[in-house]
Structures are given as C-alpha cells and as structure tokens.
C-alpha cells in the first residue's frame, strides 16, 4: 500500500520542481526585457494530459489551461467546473464547433476569419449571463499555406470587425511561427508580431493586452521579443506520448 503513495509523491514533487523552475525562468526573462511592464503569464497546454495531471498542476496554483480539441477538452472543463480555472481554446476552430466552444471556454486564441468570429459571437450571445468571450486573432506570421491564421494584409480589417462584435472581447494576437531547428531563428517572427501588436493598439480597445507567442522550445526568445503569454505543454508536463 505504501509504494503507490511514494511514487505519487515523487511524481508530484518533480512536477513542483519543474513548475517552479519554469515560473522562475519566465519571470527572470521578463525582467530582462524592457518591452512589457509585467511578467509574461503561463498558459499550461494540457492536450493529451489526464485529469490527474491537470489537477496536480492546478493544485500548485496554475489557473490557465489550453486545449486544442473540443471533444477532448469538454470532459476536462466539466470535471474542474467547481475550480476557478480559465480554459483557452488554441486549436483550429471548425465552424460546426463554435457553439460548444463559446459555451465552455473562457478564451479562444485562434480566431482567424470573420465568419468564425461571427459564429462565436452569436453562440456566446445565446449563453446567458456569462459575459463576453475573450478572443485573440491568430496571425499566420510566416505566411505558411498549411497553417491557420489570418495573413498580415487582412489583419487590420479583421481586428476592426471583431471589435464590433459585442459578445467577443478582443484581447490581442496569437501566433505559431514556422518550426525551426534553432529557436533563435524565430526571433524575427516574434519581433514582427510585437511590432504588429503595437501598431494595432491605437485601433483596438483598451483590453488589447495579450500577445500570445512562445512554446516550450522558444518561449524565452518570445518573451525577449515582447510576448505577454507563453503556451507551455512539454516544459510543464514532460514529452507528449
Ligand atoms: C501543443 C501546443 C503548444 C504547446 O507545445 P509545447 O511544445 O509542448 O510547449 C502551444 N501552442 C499551441 C497552439 C499548441 O498546439
């Protein structure tokens, strides 16, 4: 009977060590850049992770979790409905999933078309008194044909349109730069995103405060270039199966 407890304790203490180290590294890197007044926040990307793994991290104080697939996410969100957690949808939004997304999530970081924004707005309108849905517009920063995200040329117009939707609260931009073997090669994409984020600020409302960029392999570089939110899966939970 004692062995499983030991194993469990060892597992959670290593999670704590890892979590503490990541928070410390995010804080230190944020302090070293003059681009933002406060430290970048950490979104725990929990796709493929179990209820137990998510619960363990929540117990350490993590509040924001990101999921890519609606059917995988909803049972998790329901399981933790009595906790005060914020759930971010970060996958591709299919138009037939806008209703459950608007109903269950607090944020959608991957809005990239007016049609999707409009459907989310209408679905949120019908959710009763839960307030507007926080959204970011996903930018296809390297103009990759295989990737979601609005191209830069259409971004100002989409910002304008989303801004007009009363059940969406436009918070900023999200992007996933092209995969690089050396994360240093993503620096210019991050820096371009930061410039875009700044340049759209005057046109956006006063809740334009989120630049979601940086993952496990490149989050420090993203923070150095002005990220306000890093999305970390592997760094927190270990490699995905
Ligand atoms: C999976 C995923 C992440 C996290 O990736 P890691 O490399 O495990 O940190 C971040 N953002 C998005 C959009 C993802 O799909």
Burial of 154 (0-12, 13-18, 19+ CB in 10 A): middle
pLDDT tier at 164, thresholds 50, 70, 90 = very high
Cα–Cα distance measured from residue 209 to residue 174, given in angstroms and rounded to the nearest whole number: 12
Task: Please give the span between the terminal C-alpha atoms of the chain, in angstroms, as a whole number.
Answer: 28
- Closest residue by Cα to atom 12, ligand 1, is 90
CA–centroid distance, 146 to ligand 1, in Å, is 17
pTM, to two decimals: 0.94
State the closest ligand 1 atom to the C-alpha of 216, by its place in the atom list counted from 1. 9
CA–centroid distance, 124 to ligand 1, in Å, is 26
- Closest residue by Cα to atom 4, ligand 1, is 233
pLDDT computed for residue 129 by the predictor: 76
pLDDT tens for residues 105-116? 999 999 999 999
pLDDT at 10 over 90: no
pLDDT tens for residues 219-237? 999 999 999 999 999 999 9
User: Where does ligand 1 bind, in terms of residues with CB under 6 Å?
Assistant: 45, 47, 68, 90, 176, 215-216, 231-235
Alpha-helical (H) ranges within 33-105 are 51-59, 70-79, 98-104
pLDDT tens for residues 176-206? 999 999 999 999 999 999 999 999 998 888 8
pLDDT tens for residues 33-75? 989 889 999 999 999 999 999 999 999 999 999 999 999 999 9
* Strand, helix or coil for residue 136: strand
């Amino acid at each position: 009977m004692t062995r499983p407890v030991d194993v469990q304790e060892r597992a959670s203490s290593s999670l704590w060590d890892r979590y503490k180290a990541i928070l410390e590294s995010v804080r230190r890197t944020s302090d070293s850049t003059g681009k933002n007044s406060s430290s970048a926040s950490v979104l725990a990307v929990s796709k493929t992770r179990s209820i137990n793994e998510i619960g363990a991290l929540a117990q350490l104080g993590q509040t924001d979790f990101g999921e890519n697939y609606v059917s995988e996410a909803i049972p998790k969100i329901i399981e933790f409905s009595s906790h005060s957690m914020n759930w971010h949808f970060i996958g591709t939004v299919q138009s037939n999933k806008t209703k459950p997304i608007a109903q269950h999530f607090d944020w959608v970081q991957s809005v990239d078309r007016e049609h999707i924004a409009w459907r989310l707005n209408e679905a949120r309108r019908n959710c009763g008194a839960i307030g507007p849905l926080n959204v970011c517009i996903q930018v296809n920063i390297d103009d990759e044909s295989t990737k979601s995200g609005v191209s830069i040329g259409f971004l100002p117009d989409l910002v304008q349109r989303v801004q007009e939707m009363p059940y969406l609260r436009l918070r900023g931009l999200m992007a996933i730069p092209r995969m690089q073997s050396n994360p240093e090669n993503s620096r210019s994409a991050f820096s371009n995103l930061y410039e875009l984020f700044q340049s759209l600020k005057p046109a956006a409302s006063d809740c334009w405060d989120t630049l979601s960029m940086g993952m496990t392999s490149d989050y420090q570089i993203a923070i150095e270039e002005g990220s306000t939110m890093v999305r970390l899966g592997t760094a927190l939970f270990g490699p995905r199966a």
